[in-house]
Amino acid sequence: MDTKGSGAHREGEETGNTMAGNVGAGAMTVAREYRRGDWTLPETMLLIEAKKRVHEERHPADLGLARWRWVEDYCWRAGCRRSQNQCNDRWDNLMRDYKKVRAYEHAGAAAEAPSYWEMARAERKARYLPSNLLREIYEAMGEIVERRMSFAGAGGPFLGAPPPPPMVSSGLVGAPMQASPLAQVQPRPL
């Protein structure tokens, strides 16, 4: 059995690790050879589509690894040869960039700052913004974020939700903090 695939891939495309998985007891082993390198726009848009579908079609209580495996399989069927870890890493990077641009756009509207989309790459870097987020990706991400927020309702656990109220302790200084992105930046109350 050829575990390397057909060997045919696009010019300039690198392939990387091969992952094998059993398809049942005593069944044949299926191997996948993953593409490495920068993500293309079609691959990124396919990942966004997969994430949209995973939230529409899957039970929200599914474990993260099972969800990412589903995303990998969805992308694989459409021709995007990326692993679940690559998909997860790319999604995390996209969300980080999306949040920065969204926060800048919301703050900039009040301060009459130039729009992110009107700035040159150097100006974006000078303002510590992602230098290369495409508007098409930003808008597709916005649809998913809005949809997730509407499913969660106002004040839900998704983006744009206010931080949870501080934990009330019985005077213990070492009381554990609730995990949230703001907990890493803001000082603890005394």
pLDDT in tens, 134-157: 999 999 999 988 887 776 554 444
Q: Where are the domains of the chain?
A: 39-155
pLDDT in tens, 38-62: 999 999 999 999 999 987 876 555 6
Q: Give the least confident one: 13-27, 51-65, 70-84, 157-171.
A: 157-171
Q: How far is CA 170 from the centre of its chain?
A: 38
pLDDT of residue 108: 78
pLDDT of residue 16: 62
pTM here is 0.64
User: Which amino acid is located at 169 in the chain?
Assistant: S
Choose between 104 and 4: higher pLDDT: 104
Q: Which residues fall within 8 angstroms of residue 17, CB to CB, at 6 or more apart? A: 33, 34, 83
Q: Give the least confident one: 69-78, 104-113, 118-127, 159-168.
A: 159-168
Q: Which residues fall within 8 angstroms of residue 88, CB to CB, at 6 or more apart? A: 68
| Look-up of token digits 């998909």 | 87
pLDDT of residue 64: 76
Instruction: Quote the mean pLDDT of the chain.
Output: 75
Average pLDDT of the residues in 144-173: 55
Q: Which residues fall within 8 angstroms of residue 73, CB to CB, at 6 or more apart? A: none
pLDDT of residue 29: 55
Q: What DSSP assignment string belongs to 5-30?
A: TT----TT-EEEEEEEEE-STTPPEE
Q: What is the pLDDT confidence band of residue 22, given thresholds at 50, 70 and 90?
A: very low
